């Protein structure tokens, strides 16, 4: 065994000791309470047929995009799609990235410059943190959803300030106080950047996201919407001004140095948006399912719930071993709920993360809330 292999094995053993070793599993086919497929689009037969039809309508399309957008991978189809998506979300322009991870990496690593300041909520997604790590700007975190702490930090920051938040936090499910934050950013001339990954298709009259629902589209410097969650496909878009789009095309390395999405993916994204426009029932059904879940919690479980209006509802079960064992009992009963452990979340706030979907049946939801009641 080489020295390098020894080091790797040691790191894995340390993880195992902490009870936080990650392992890949094939989905066991239980009732889905863990995926990001909030509206059930990834499994919708109608959407699948729409995508097949869109591909048939473009016999000239290739299986692969053949290169980066700046070389051979661009198409008028992709540019039209970007305009269509920007229009849907009420933005001047949009630039598609291969994933939400790439979008955040490209945006945060390239836009804030040396001597600028990035203030980020301490719970923002790893993709934002990684983008910030690649940036030359100074970066400080502020307390989660704490507008006063944010104001203190904006006051002591320099001239060019970027504020990074998620509209719905992926590990807690709660929403950022976007209106207050937008007001603050306006008052101090800071640039607000909102990751709408878990709000796309969930908030807004037609699923445009939380900034749109709150009438804040003009107050936000950039928004990131991902397609791999409620839209059931893959990829992401950065929305903002035409200038921002041109800047990203020139400076965002995760956009420049990668093969563009193939036609099939673009067709799937286009159809997912059209399906969202045509099928408002899924959004309504999702809201009903969330309400049903919350209504049926026992008082004991309700006391452990992290307050959330989104499709992500978390029940705090402190301790890696405890949350893992409880998740296992629930899985054995047929419900695919995953434990979120330390170090993904702070020690003591380990949790069961329940993702609700428009397709979860009432019976499944009542069965799950019943099982969760074992906690008390």
- The residues of the shown chain that bind ligand PLP, judged by CB under 6 A, are 99-101, 104, 125, 127, 166, 170, 195, 197-198, 226, 228, 236
Q: Report the nearest approach of ligand PLP to the CB of residue 117 (Å).
A: 21
Place of tokens 């930090």: 153
Q: Report the nearest approach of ligand PLP to the CB of residue 187 (Å).
A: 26
**CA-based R_g, the chain, Å:** 21
Residue with smaller CB distance to ligand PLP, 73 or 228: 228
Residue nearest to ligand PLP (CB): 100
Q: Report the nearest approach of ligand PLP to the CB of residue 123 (Å).
A: 10
Q: Report the nearest approach of ligand PLP to the CB of residue 37 (Å).
A: 12
Residue with smaller CB distance to ligand PLP, 65 or 170: 170
Q: Report the nearest approach of ligand PLP to the CB of residue 226 (Å).
A: 4
Q: Report the nearest approach of ligand PLP to the CB of residue 224 (Å).
A: 7
Residue with smaller CB distance to ligand PLP, 226 or 369: 226
Residue with smaller CB distance to ligand PLP, 56 or 253: 253
Residue with smaller CB distance to ligand PLP, 81 or 197: 197
Instruction: Identify whether the C-beta of residue 181 lies closer than 8 Å to the C-beta of residue 160.
Output: no
- The DSSP bridge pattern shows strands 138-142 and 117-121 to be parallel
Report the C-alpha dihedral over residues 364, 369, 371, 376, rounded to 10 degrees. 180
Q: HEC string of 189-224?
A: CCEEEEECCCCCCCCCCCCCCHHHHCCCHHHCCEEE
Residue with smaller CB distance to ligand PLP, 204 or 228: 228
Q: Report the nearest approach of ligand PLP to the CB of residue 290 (Å).
A: 18
Q: Report the nearest approach of ligand PLP to the CB of residue 168 (Å).
A: 8
Q: Report the nearest approach of ligand PLP to the CB of residue 2 (Å).
A: 33
Instruction: Identify whether the C-beta of residue 369 lies closer than 8 Å to the C-beta of residue 48.
Output: no
Residue with smaller CB distance to ligand PLP, 101 or 263: 101
Residue with smaller CB distance to ligand PLP, 236 or 340: 236
Q: Provide the angle, in degrees to the nearest 10, between the axes of the packed helices 45-56 and 263-278.
A: 130
Residue with smaller CB distance to ligand PLP, 169 or 359: 169
């Amino acid at each position: 065994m080489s020295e390098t292999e020894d080091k790797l094995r040691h790191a894995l053993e340390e993880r195992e000791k902490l009870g936080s070793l990650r392992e890949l599993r094939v989905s066991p086919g239980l009732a889905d309470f863990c995926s990001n497929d909030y509206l059930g689009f990834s499994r919708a037969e109608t959407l699948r047929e729409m995508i097949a039809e869109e591909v048939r309508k473009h016999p000239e399309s290739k299986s692969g995009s053949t290169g980066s957008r700046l070389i051979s991978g661009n198409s008028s189809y992709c540019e039209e799609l970007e305009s269509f998506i920007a229009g849907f979300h009420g933005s001047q322009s949009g630039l598609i990235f291969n994933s939400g991870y790439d979008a955040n990496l490209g945006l945060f690593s390239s836009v804030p410059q040396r001597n600028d300041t990035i203030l980020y909520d301490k719970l923002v997604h790893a993709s934002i943190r990684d983008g910030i790590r690649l940036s030359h700007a100074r970066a400080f975190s502020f307390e989660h959803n704490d507008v006063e702490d944010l104001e203190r930090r904006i006051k002591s920051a320099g001239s060019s300030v970027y504020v990074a938040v998620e509209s719905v936090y992926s590990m807690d499910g709660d929403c950022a106080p976007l209106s207050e934050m937008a007001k603050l950013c306006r008052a101090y001339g800071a640039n607000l950047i909102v990751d709408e990954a878990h709000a796309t298709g969930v908030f807004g009259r037609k699923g445009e996201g939380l900034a749109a629902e709150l009438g804040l589209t003009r107050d936000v410097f950039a928004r990131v919407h991902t397609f791999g969650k409620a839209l059931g496909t893959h990829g992401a878009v950065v929305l903002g001004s035409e200038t921002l789009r041109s800047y990203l095309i020139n400076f965002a390395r995760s956009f420049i140095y990668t093969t563009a999405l193939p036609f099939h993916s673009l067709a799937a994204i286009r159809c997912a948006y059209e399906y969202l426009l045509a099928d408002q029932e899924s959004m309504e059904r999702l809201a009903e399912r969330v309400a049903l879940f919350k209504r049926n919690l026992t008082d004991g479980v309700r006391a452990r719930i992290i307050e959330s209006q989104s499709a992500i509802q978390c029940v705090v079960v402190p301790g890696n071993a405890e949350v893992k064992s409880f998740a296992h009992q629930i899985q054995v009963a047929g419900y695919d709920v995953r434990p979120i452990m330390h170090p993904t979340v702070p020690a003591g706030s380990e949790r069961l993360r329940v993702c609700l979907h428009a397709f979860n049946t009432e019976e499944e939801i009542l069965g799950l809330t019943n099982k969760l009641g074992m906690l008390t």
